[in-house]
């Protein structure tokens, strides 16, 4: 173990940073696109199923196949990797955003409109705050997925810890395979834990005082 870090420590650090940056960029793009799109689709339920089903079909494409499909259009490297990971990040966030917005009770919506709120005010002040826990659950799930799938970005020269894993497979060196696999697992578990804490922090809180009449 010590000799592994002595020989590969700097490379492991570089690949870990690459892995995190690829994952973060793809996830950020997914949030920026999927959350507003999910909010928009919640106002047009007739077309929502079609859009969500289309994105679901994209996610059924095997990861390696999708990465390979990127090559004729974007070449190899970070860009096609980020685009492929971005596509995979969309569905959990989009679906949860739509379901969270749709899950707000009609009584609350009617009460808000009865108070004179406009449609945008209802979305911003009623639906969105109540949908935050469901949206965050989708982002949390997508975060774990993206960190895991980023391992395959090395297949098209995107970098990341998958590079060490593929090198280990090509050279028949189990220590390199484990050296790439274990950090990915730790990153995914750590991200899930941190996103869980963030999910609790941003969720609306309700308090009740006992003993009040």
Residues with Cβ < 8 Å from 100, sequence gap 6 or more? 38, 130, 131, 132, 133, 134, 135, 138
Q: Quick one: pLDDT at residue 110?
A: 79
Residue 128 inside a domain? The answer is no
Low-confidence ranges of the chain (pLDDT < 70): 1, 206-213
The rounded Cα 180 to chain-centroid distance in angstroms is: 21
d(CA 170, CA 172): 6
Encoded tokens for 40? 């928009």
Which long-range CB contacts under 8 A does 71-76 form with residues at least 24 apart?
71/156, 76/156, 76/157, 76/158
Q: What residues make up the domain containing 60?
A: 2-106+134-202
Whether 115 is covered by a domain: the verdict is no
Residue 1: per-residue pLDDT: 67
Is residue 49 in some structural domain?
A: yes
Structural domain tally of the chain? 1
Query: pLDDT at position 26, please?
Result: 95
Residue 95 domain flag: yes
What pLDDT shows up at residue 45?
A: 84
Residue 47 falls within a domain, yes or no? yes
| CA 181 to each of CA 50, 70, 177: distance values in angstroms, whole numbers, following the listed order | 37, 24, 6
CATH classification at residue 144: 1.10.3720.10
Residue with tokens 């969720």: 203
pTM of the model: 0.86
Residue 113 lies in a domain: no
């Amino acid at each position: 173990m010590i000799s592994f870090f002595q020989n590969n420590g700097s490379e492991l650090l570089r690949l870990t940073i690459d892995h995190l940056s690829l994952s973060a960029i793809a996830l950020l793009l997914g949030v920026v696109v999927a959350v507003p799109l999910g909010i928009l689709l919640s106002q047009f339920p007739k077309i929502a199923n079609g859009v969500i089903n289309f994105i679901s079909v994209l996610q059924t494409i095997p990861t390696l196949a999708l990465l390979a499909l990127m090559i004729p259009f974007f070449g190899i490297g970070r860009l096609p990797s980020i685009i492929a990971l971005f596509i995979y990040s969309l569905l959990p966030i989009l679906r949860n955003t739509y379901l969270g917005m749709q899950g707000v009770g009609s009584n609350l919506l009617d009460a808000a409109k009865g108070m004179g709120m406009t449609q945008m005010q209802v979305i911003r002040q009623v639906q969105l705050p109540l949908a935050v826990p469901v949206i965050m659950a989708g982002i949390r799930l997508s975060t774990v997925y993206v960190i895991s799938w980023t391992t395959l970005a090395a297949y098209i020269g995107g970098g990341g810890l998958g590079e060490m894993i593929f090198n280990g497979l090509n050279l028949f060196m189990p220590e390199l395979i484990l050296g790439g696999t274990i950090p990915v697992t730790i990153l995914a578990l750590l991200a899930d834990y941190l996103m869980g804490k963030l999910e609790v922090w941003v969720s609306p809180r309700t308090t009740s005082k006992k003993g009040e009449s």
